[in-house]
Structure 1
Amino acid sequence: MGERKGVNKYYPPDFDPAKHGSLNKYRHSHPLRERARKLSQGILIIRFEMPYNIWCDGCKNHIGMGVRYNAEKKKVGNYYTTPIYRLRSALTQHQTSPSDPATGKARRRLRPTSFYCKRFRMKCHLCVNYIEMQTDPANCDYVIVSGAQRKEERWDPQDNEQVLATEHEEKKKLETDAMYRLEHGATDQGKLQRALPTLSNIQEAQSAWKDDFALNSMLRRKFREEKKVLQEEEEKDQALQAKANLSIPLVREAEEDRRLATLLTYRSPDSYEDKQKQKRTEISSRSWFPSAKAGDALKLPGLGTKTSSSPAPCDHLGIVRRRPTDVPRGLASLGDATETPCALPTSPTAGPSGPPHSLVPDYSGSGSDSDGE
Structure 2
Amino acid sequence: MSERKVLTKYYPPDFDPSKITRTRGPKNAGPKLMTVRLMAPFSMKCTHCGEFIYKGRKFNARKETTDEKYYNIAIFRFYIRCTRCSGEITFKTDPKNMDYESERGAKRNFEPWREAKLNEETEEERLDRIEREDAERDAMKELETKVLDAKTEMAIADALDEIRSRNARMEKTDREGVTTVAKPDAASEDRKRQEEEDAEAARRAFGSLGMPDISEEVIEEDMVDAPIAMPVVTTFVKKPKEKKDFGAALGIKKKAPAPAPAPQVKAPAPPSKLSTMLVAGYDSDND
State whether TM-score is above 0.5: no
The structure number with the bigger radius of gyration is: 2
Q: What TM-score comes out, normalization by structure 1 length? A: 0.23
TM-score under structure 2 normalisation?
Answer: 0.30
